[in-house]
A = this chain, B = another copy of it.
Amino acid sequence: MTVPDISDYLPHIAFDSVIFGFSKGQLKILLMEYHATGWYALPGGFVGVKEGLNQAVERGLKERTGLENIYLEQFYTFGDFNRHGAEVMKRILEANGYAVNESYWLLDRFISVAYYALIDVEKVTLQPDSLSDSIGWYPIDALPQLIFDHQQIVTKALDTLRYHLDRKLIGGKLLPEKFTMNDLQRVYEAILGEKLRRTSFQRKLLGLDILKRHEKHFTGKSHKAPYLYSFK
């Protein structure tokens, strides 16, 4: 495994992805943990010199999660002069056994285009990259400390997700194909961070005429079985 070469990528330009998933009633995101340093970061990458920006992000997502055709939305480009800490990057590279000199391109100042993605956690097989020990899911309200301005990027991603929630039909992207109304309500509650009224929620979602009702789902519990739904 070699250290990335500047000639393959556009200098000073990066992307970061906030990849949302939902499991055990919690909204979670994917984080990478770097070798030896114990530092956490958003999965990201660089743009090939002949590659489109969106294509680069889709490529990165596929490398990390194995998934294609994911719901992906660009939400902000972070460009403060001091956002990228050269000393942090240097320690990460050194901890991986790379001896880098002061002019190595990864130590330069970077502008990062941030995307958020919504995926069904059941469909994912996680793939750490060469610099990181592990990649895993972390609940949005109990994240470890992140490098650079990545916490700010996560916060803005969540704000944007909430802002889009009732205008775009994205709530179901975090669930499998078929789900119950209760599943969907818990996703909305996890995103918004507040409890919703069951009857209002059901009436509203059904009123949008975007759900298709399927057979009942028998859980084995001793009560009325809910219907399964999918998005039309």
Residues on A lying within 8 angstroms of B by beta carbon are: 10-13, 47, 49-56, 74, 76-81, 109, 111, 113, 163, 167
Closest to A83 in B: B52
Closest to A10 in B: B12
Residues of chain B contacted by A113 (CB below 8 angstroms): 77, 79, 111
Chain copies in complex: 2
Residues of chain B contacted by A54 (CB below 8 angstroms): 79-80
Determine the main DSSP class of A at the interface with B.
mixed
Residues of chain B contacted by A11 (CB below 8 angstroms): 10-12
A15 → chain B closest CB, angstroms? 9
A78 to B55 alpha-carbon distance, docked (Å) = 12
Closest to A79 in B: B53
Whether the pair B80, A77 counts as a contact (CB closer than 8 A) is: no
Residues of chain B contacted by A13 (CB below 8 angstroms): 12-13, 111
A75 to B74 alpha-carbon distance, docked (Å) = 9
A228 → chain B closest CB, angstroms? 33
Known: A74-B76, A76-B74. Contact between A10 and B111, CB under 8 A?
A: yes
Interface contacts beyond A47-B79, A53-B111, A54-B80: sample of 4 additional A-B pairs, CB < 8 Å, sorted by A: A13-B13, A50-B109, A52-B80, A53-B77
Residues of chain B contacted by A50 (CB below 8 angstroms): 81, 109
- Sorted nearest first, the 3 A-B pairs with minimum C-beta distance are A53-B79, A77-B77, A52-B81
